[in-house]
């Protein structure tokens, strides 16, 4: 693990806290409230492949499936053709591809992918449960998945998904309760959860 990667991880929490107040938008008065934003962090890589399986079957870690819908705040309208760009750490807390030299190879995009929503706004992806990692001596980031959602007629949203019951949720200042979901056992092993996303108009 390179020193640059460690520095980025530590610097992220400080910069994110400073920017968080400006990122949070008021909830919509419509029936669907806007999904709260959350900082992107320093580990995003553009150009992730279009795929719904982020980790190979033999990749180490507890299997995880996340599904949901992308909706417009005005009337909870399903948004077809939205792009859901997701990325997360390995079970050991490592982000692949950060120390790679362009052009990136497929293996550099492990645990990363983009999914286009269907006609009903639905999306789903299969991966592993992300690991936790330490930011400082006293702060450990809980398990989380990063999201970047775009749609031609709506505002881009960058946020993070967290998991109910993580012991570090309460000590991480970036965690917001609307972004926490419960997980349930999945038939065949592993866990699954549902995360619906609501975008505001452009």
Residue 144 appears among annotated catalytic residues? yes
Residue 168 appears among annotated catalytic residues? no
C-beta separation of 66 from 145 below 8 A: yes
At residue 62, the pLDDT reads 97
Would you say residue 9 has pLDDT above 70?
Answer: no
Tokens 């009903």 -> residue: 120
Active-site annotation holder among 143, 146, 148, 154: 146
Highest mean pLDDT among 27-31, 99-103, 120-124: 120-124
In angstroms, what is the C-alpha Rg of the chain?
Answer: 16
Mean pLDDT for the stretch of residues 164-184: 98
Active-site annotation holder among 108, 141, 148, 176: 141
At residue 101, the pLDDT reads 92
Active-site annotation holder among 144, 151, 154, 176: 144
Mean pLDDT for the stretch of residues 123-152: 97
> How far is Cα 76 from Cα 90, in angstroms, rounded to an integer?
33
Mean pLDDT for the stretch of residues 174-180: 98
Would you say residue 26 has pLDDT above 50?
Answer: no
Q: How confident is the model at residue 61 (pLDDT cuts 50, 70, 90)?
A: very high
Q: What is the CATH number of the domain that holds 13?
A: 2.60.130.10
Residue 146 appears among annotated catalytic residues? yes
Total of domains in the chain: 1
At residue 10, the pLDDT reads 60
Would you say residue 174 has pLDDT above 60?
Answer: yes
Identify the residue with better confidence: 121 or 20: 121
C-beta separation of 143 from 131 below 8 A: yes
Q: Does the pTM of the predicted model rise above 0.75? A: yes
Active-site annotation holder among 9, 88, 95, 151: 95
Active-site annotation holder among 133, 143, 151, 154: 133
Would you say residue 17 has pLDDT above 80?
Answer: no
Q: What is the 3-state secondary structure (H, E, C) of the chain?
A: CCHHHHHHHHHHHHHHHHHHHHHCCCCCCCCCCCCCCCCCCCCCCCCCCECCECCCCCCCCCEEEEEEEEEECCCCEECCCCEEEEECCCCCCCCCCCCCCCCCCHHHHCCEEEEECCCCCEEEEEEECCCCEECCCCCEECCEEEEEEEECCEEEEEEEEEECCCCCCCCCCCCCHHHEECCEECCCCCEEEECCEEECEC
C-beta separation of 120 from 78 below 8 A: yes
Range of the domain at 157: 3-199
Reported as a single tens digit per residue, the pLDDT across 90-119 is 999 999 999 999 999 999 999 999 999 999
At residue 64, the pLDDT reads 98
Residue 154 appears among annotated catalytic residues? no
Mean pLDDT for the stretch of residues 51-68: 97
Which residues, at least 6 apart from 131, have a Cβ–Cβ distance to it below 8 Å? 61, 89, 90, 91, 92, 93, 94, 143
Q: How confident is the model at residue 180 (pLDDT cuts 50, 70, 90)?
A: very high
Residue 148 appears among annotated catalytic residues? no
Reported as a single tens digit per residue, the pLDDT across 146-159 is 999 999 999 999 99
């Amino acid at each position: 693990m390179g020193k640059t990667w460690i520095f980025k991880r530590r610097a992220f929490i400080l910069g994110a806290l400073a920017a968080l107040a400006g990122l949070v938008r008021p909830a919509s008065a419509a029936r669907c409230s806007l999904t709260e934003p959350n900082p992107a962090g320093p580990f995003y890589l553009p150009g992730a492949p279009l795929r719904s399986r982020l980790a190979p079957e033999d990749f180490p870690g507890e299997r995880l499936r996340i599904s949901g819908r992308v909706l417009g705040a005005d009337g909870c309208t399903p948004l077809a053709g939205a792009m859901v760009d997701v990325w997360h750490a390995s079970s050991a807390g490592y982000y692949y591809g950060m120390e790679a030299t362009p052009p990136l190879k497929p293996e550099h995009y492990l645990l990363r992918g983009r999914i286009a929503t269907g006609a009903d706004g639905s999306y789903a992806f299969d991966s592993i449960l992300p690991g936790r990692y330490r930011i400082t001596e006293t702060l450990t980031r809980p398990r989380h998945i990063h999201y970047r959602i775009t749609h031609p007629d709506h505002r881009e949203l960058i946020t993070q998904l967290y998991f109910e019951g993580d012991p570090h949720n309460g000590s991480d200042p970036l965690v917001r309760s609307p972004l926490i979901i419960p997980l349930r056992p999945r038939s065949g092993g592993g866990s699954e959860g549902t995360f619906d996303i609501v975008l505001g108009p452009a």
